[in-house]
Structure 1
């Protein structure tokens, strides 16, 4: 029985990749690929991307479909049918070297075992990734969010111990499927190499005894206790003539200045791993505070 036209149109509209397909098959370019329908039916009908007359050169035998000489037009979603009943679907793609998508950047806000990664890939692709934990166990696949060819997702390693020395790197494995190709690649890294703190918080300024007293707090996301997870602070303040002055403070969250200061901002860094500096806090206008104190 032919597949109803309305049903074919509905399938065609939903065949675009919006999530990682639950069943896919990676073939080699110009090689035959065998697709099997998971059914007890002896005879089935096939569609490619919802079309009852696929562009590919095919050989159908019972529950098996052979794509003869896989090329890019022959890729896509192959569905087997019993009349108007969908039985099974397999997304067929061509293997790729994975050069696209290797530009991965990961960042952790602290040593709590959570981090965020982003990477580039084909605009039409969907990606998933999984983490090999610090204890050697392999996590579940996590589906990535994507927009305009940039993809991202977050991970947590429950076995990560912030007080122990990292003896083995974490491994992230990535799989991507575009409308025609399959990509896979992996990266290795230590958490200590991707830490970038959030900006310090609660920056305040007050006049007392002819000095401007600044105080602040570590980022709310930073690991505790502070005595173990120390931070190096970088203060940058601006004088009324526009001159900018840098000052570095470690082991405390306060500082006193005698200069007439117009505004100040602050950043921080883990001094023991030479991590990246945090983003700057916003400028804190302090000249009016100075005038009130005077």
Structure 2
């Protein structure tokens, strides 16, 4: 009795897993049915051979349904009849079509899909945030919104690893030098079990711009201030004279531990910590993430070290370790 129960449980578990992970990628051909639509569903065989055409569902010959030549008409659509239908001419498989169900989840697209552009260059990045789905695809343009065959889908799958997420890089053809007048249309389709969720997200590229963290590359001592030299991240659009970034410096005063911020490159001289972030001032974009916080009991010395290593060592990466030793020795002698 116990062995029999375990066998049945194992069989059901395997079947459940196969159902859940049945589609690791989008089928080449599929039809989506709506549970609330009482109308019949018609499946069409791609080939029209001489002789009879028979239909199989998950490998078994279809007994229910109305067969008319190379088409199969299903009057009722529910979970038991979802899956792969194939048409045959004798022992020759002609084509197959998956019958899927429209996902009725009313979740908003903004909670499912988040997008970000690190510059105005030729692509942006999106992440699908719901891990219940096994495969997701994104398509940019009106042709994808309307489901045309010309849509160039970008597909990601995550069938086994839990919480692996879906990350996309979406190319676009917008000119970085022209003002946007039309919103981008990004269509998402996602499969879980044998149901398809479809949503469209509309936005301007400028609304999702968020630069990467900038680089602190040097400083210049003045009477009561430090002038910090900040450069845009390497991923930011060029030329930097045209694609200007504004920077914000956050610092901690060494004397009293108070925190201050500066939108200019000048900060008080006696500080113990600082970090920087950037944004596009013309579209008031989102701020970048803060840089790593620079901490030192001698911030001017630390910034000098940072500057020397950046300008001297990085171009000589083949001798990077020797270069760092040289800079440390040089700054040690300067501070004595």
TM-score, length basis structure 1: 0.78
**Alignment counterpart, residue 33 of structure 1, candidates 33, 37, 41:** 41
Partners of 1:139 and 1:255 in 2: CA distance: 51
The structure with more radius of gyration = 2
Q: Which residue of 1 aligns with 2:124?
A: 115
Shift of 1:166: 1.2
Counting matched residue pairs gives 271
Q: Which residue of 1 aligns with 2:245?
A: 231
- Kept in 2, the 8 Å contact 1:27–1:33? The answer is yes
Q: Which residue of 2 aligns with 1:77?
A: 84
Whichever structure has more helix as a proportion of its residues is 2
What RMSD, in angstroms, separates the aligned Cα atoms of the two structures?
3.3
Q: Tell me, which stretches of 5 or more residues in structure 2 are unaligned?
A: 1-14, 143-149, 302-331
Distance 1:150 1:98, change over 3 A: farther
Shift of 1:194: 1.1
Q: Which residue of 1 aligns with 2:297?
A: 287
Distance 1:217 1:74, change over 3 A: same
Q: Which residue of 2 aligns with 1:156?
A: 171
Whichever structure has more strand as a proportion of its residues is 1
Partners of 2:200 and 2:190 in 1: CA distance: 12
Q: Tell me, which stretches of 5 or more residues in structure 1 are unaligned?
A: 1-8
1:127 partner SS: strand
Q: Which residue of 1 aligns with 2:233?
A: 219
Partners of 1:16 and 1:81 in 2: CA distance: 22
Could you list the per-position Cα deviations for residues 219-247 of structure 1 after superposition, in whole angstroms to 9, with x for gaps in the alignment? 11111222222111111112345322111
Q: Matches of residues 1-294 of structure 1 in structure 2 within 5 Å? A: 16-29=22-35, 31-39=39-47, 40=49, 42-48=52-58, 50=59, 52=60, 57-60=64-67, 63-81=70-88, 85-97=92-104, 99-100=106-107, 102-103=109-110, 104-121=113-130, 123-132=132-141, 140-146=152-158, 148=163, 150-158=165-173, 160-205=174-219, 212-240=226-254, 241-249=256-264, 254-255=265-266, 257-258=268-269, 260-290=270-300
Distance 1:86 1:205, change over 3 A: farther
Partners of 2:129 and 2:295 in 1: CA distance: 39
1:129 partner SS: strand
- Kept in 2, the 8 Å contact 1:200–1:281? The answer is yes
Distance 1:92 1:101, change over 3 A: farther
